Amino acid sequence: MFEDRQYQWRETYFVLFDPAKRPRLDALKQRLLGAGSHFTLTNCATDKKGLIESLTVLSPDDFAALDISYLAGDEVREEARALAKDLISPECRGEQRAKIERLKTCTGRFDVLHFENVSDRSDPAGEEEGMFDPSGLLIVMDALVALTDGIAVDPQSGTML
């Protein structure tokens, strides 16, 4: 997607989790490509066990695409701890506080880069509204969170989803 001029990057989200729960590509495909699915999965890469390394999800009906890549290790843990520090506040209670505490221990992460298809716009100035739809992003994020028992974060806004 990075080199495809038809797509423009919009935002990046994270799904942080324990690497022991990294899902197999087959499991994600099964969740996303069910009856009536409007997704196409391309550029799929896995390790020898079939665990997700990276993939691209095309969602033409939403005029969108997602690039997903897996990262793990101490750097991810340090970034997760920094995110947790930014997310914590005196108002955090119960489930939200527990998620933030769990976030501190995460060493696995999917980076989910959200792109808009700008080639199909009828207005070349990009003024037309309503075509770009985030529903595909939400479906994919929900699937990744469910498969990893992970925590979705919007790092730009500093919020958990």
Task: State residue 51's pLDDT score.
Answer: 98
Task: Please give the structure tokens belonging to residue 89.
Answer: 């506040």
DSSP strand pairing (7-17 vs 52-59): unpaired
- Closest alpha carbon to 54 in 1, 10, 132, 116: 1
Task: State residue 129's pLDDT score.
Answer: 54
pTM as predicted: 0.88
CA distances from 1 to 20, 44, 53, 97, 126 (A): 28, 13, 16, 36, 19
| Low-confidence stretches of the chain (pLDDT beneath 50) | 130
Task: State residue 95's pLDDT score.
Answer: 84
Task: State residue 158's pLDDT score.
Answer: 78
Task: State residue 149's pLDDT score.
Answer: 96
Task: State residue 127's pLDDT score.
Answer: 52
Task: State residue 74's pLDDT score.
Answer: 95
